[in-house]
Amino acid sequence: MLNKFKIDEWKVIEEGFDPKTNRFSESIFSLGNEHMGLRGFFEEGYSGDSLKGTYVAGVYYPDKTRVGWWKIGYPEFFAKVLNSTNWIGIDIEVDGKRLDLANARIKDFRRELDMREGTLTRSFIWSEEDGKETAFAFTRFLSMAENHIACISVKVRPLNFGGRITMAPYLDGNVVNEDANYGENFWEEVTRAVDFDQALLVMRTKKSGFVVATATAAKISLNSEVITPATELSACEKKVEFRFDVTVERGEEVELQKFVSVCTSRDFTESNLDSATRERLNQAVQKGYYELFHEHYRVLEQKWQESDIVIEGDPRAQQGIRYNIFQLNQTYTGKDPRLNIGPKGFTGEKYGGSTYWDTEAFCFPFYLYTNEEVARNLLYYRYLQLDKAKENAGKLGLKGALYPMVTMDGHECHNEWEITFEEIHRNAAIAYAIYNFAYYTGNNSYLYQYGIEVLIEISRFWADRVTYQARKDQYMILGVTGPNEYENNVNNNWYTNTMAAWTLEYTLGTLKGIEQSDPVRLGEITAQSGLSHTEQLKWQEIVIKMYRPYVAELGIFEQNDLYMDKEQLLVKDIPPEELPLNKHWSWDRILRSCFIKQADVIQGIFFLPERFDMACRKRNFDFYEPRTLHESSLSASIYSIVASWIGYHDKAYELYLRTARLDLDNYNDDTDDGVHLTSMAGSWSSIVQGFAGAAVRNNRFHLTPYIPEEWQGYSFKITFRGRKLKVYVTKEKVEIQQLSGDPLPIAVFDQEYLSRDGMEIVVEQKISRECRC
């Protein structure tokens, strides 16, 4: 763990600059607005170690797959979100000497992310060898109101001398991806232009052909009065630049405001792209920095009103959850159904910025509980890619649809065999999200119109992928990797088998529901898909005869065949200096060990809690959690929620803190290359689904809340079937306030109440630490 930041409920504050942890800080101080984003690297030139990353959503490059041994079925490329035009750059000189924090002597360094305002500020004093001292203050924001726009303010004030300040804002298309498989430059210039009002740089991706136009303009003020300084213009290959010289007296302040507009061929025709980019820039300049900020702030303020979780009495936990919610809200808002959520968001290159099963398994509840329409768009994203999922299955010689483990446009683009070919459980997460949406909303319209098509093709895949073992008269799934990626090529992963059978069962039940409610629609579905009665009978047989490994003497589900044959050790037995294992043990040693990377069996219990009684949940948790390393960012939240369900409140809180502060405290020593965005939603779920016990059971909304010992109270807002609710939990009581919508039956500690708009239900808190469903 790294305790680098001051504890503040609304801010992340870094005091003092440490070049050794600069990449970590750059990840933490990333900003975005769904359309684009960037890491927290410096505006001015910096010659030290840095990952300068500026990203545009949906713009990617098909980087040719690089493997040592090509196997049939491998994807031909890995789609990567590209480091695009650097629009933040501003070179700064004081009396001809260039500012570079890698070799400058500075003091009073402070970097601050204000999560309420969505701004990143940085300040310091540069002390030169000749005694000159200059104060600098930087502020940036990416507009949540107009997501093609970003703004930067740089204020420079000589403290004990007068002199010449030079600032050169630029656009630079000479950018690369550190993770390029073959060291390629992915961009080519289309056009560049610069005059005294604007600069424009248009770049095109090689192969994929995306065009990104970036325009910038600047205002210079001296002591808050706009001036027209001496200006030089510069344009060379892939770069355009202004250069301003301002003479200042001691104590005077010069400010540069840089306005940026970024538009792409995803949203505009190429013929209109330049004009659209310039037009948006002109509008931004006319509005001015402060009006743009207030528009941005109002949008973010509304998002906080909808999604904030307030924690009383534990600033460390409060900071953690707000940071995670902030990153989620600035990365995906659901405006564009062509987009999804990359594991790193706009904070780094790792994982290529692509979509994983993380979206449906971990992020989906956050959006489902706070904005139903956004959740629907996440499902629709997968529906739009159904044909490509069928192609992916076909490449492996299988029927139906296999959704990719990693994708940008529906094609599989992951090139590790144990993932591409074996981690097929990802299909189950997509099916489960369809179920989760219909069950939570109580509305089957999406399920019957779109979801059923996806379910049928996923079910066909499972039916073709199973192996019938005549000797045991059971169906098995051989040669897989489960959620625990520290075991590969295993047979009969319990989670995979269980969720495959569940998907088949749910698909059959959905078809029965459509038959009863809309026979005409069922006719359309069967005609379109060619689904036969014989095929459905086969699915039913697989459901009944699916093999699920079980350890009778312990009363637990065996993670997969032969897992119990391993030497059974516990994580507490590993010397601390050998953790994390993935940085200290060979892969061979990890694969042979019993240690678990992330929730596997417990993931299945989390998805299907109604199928397992309390004693069963406890036995499996007690066995598997001590063997789980939580070296995947996705692990701790699932264990935390299940721990809450079985009454292990102290353990639930411990794991909540781990997931809430995973990146802020760099738990796994891997945040340098970006935050773990998709796991951040798990910290929200740990509170809402875990501590508060929010769930739908028997078509009723249930709450069975408790409060961690360290807290005085917590509150959150959710939407449920057209109603907005605010839940407030203290050690003495539970308050549910209905903010909008029709009357709603709510069960609190299994006692039913009827809530109405404007009404507040107050229930005495149950102090006991008993287990809950």
Q: Which residues are catalytic?
A: 485
CA distances, 94 to each of 5, 48, 149, 422 (Å): 30, 20, 29, 58
Side-chain half-sphere exposure of 301, counting CA atoms within 13 A: 6
Angle between helices 270-287 and 289-307 (to 10 degrees): 100
Amino acid symbol at 645: W
Separation between Cα atoms, residue 749 and residue 606, nearest integer Å: 20
**What angle, rounded to 10 degrees, do the helices at 635-645 and 677-685 form?**
10
SS3 track for 386-406: HHHHHHHHHHCCCCCCCCCCC
Buried b (16+ CB within 10 A) or exposed e, 460-499: bbbbebbeeeeeeebbbbeebbbbbbbbbebbbbbbbbbb
Report yes or no: 437 and 360 within 8 Å, Cβ to Cβ.
Answer: no
Closest by CA to 155, choosing from 258, 293, 41, 48, is: 258
Overall size of the chain counted in residues? 773
Per the DSSP assignment, residues forming a β-bridge with 234 are 241
Each as own residue / partner, the long-range contacts of residues 182-187 (CB below 8 Å, 24 or more positions apart, any chain) are 182/63, 182/64, 182/66, 184/63, 186/61, 186/63, 186/80, 186/82, 187/82, 187/84, 187/238
Dist. CA 254–CA 175, nearest whole Å: 30
CB neighbour list of residue 291: distance below 8 Å, 6 or more residues apart: none
Q: What share of the chain is helix, strand, coil (3-state, %, to 5)?
A: 35, 25, 40
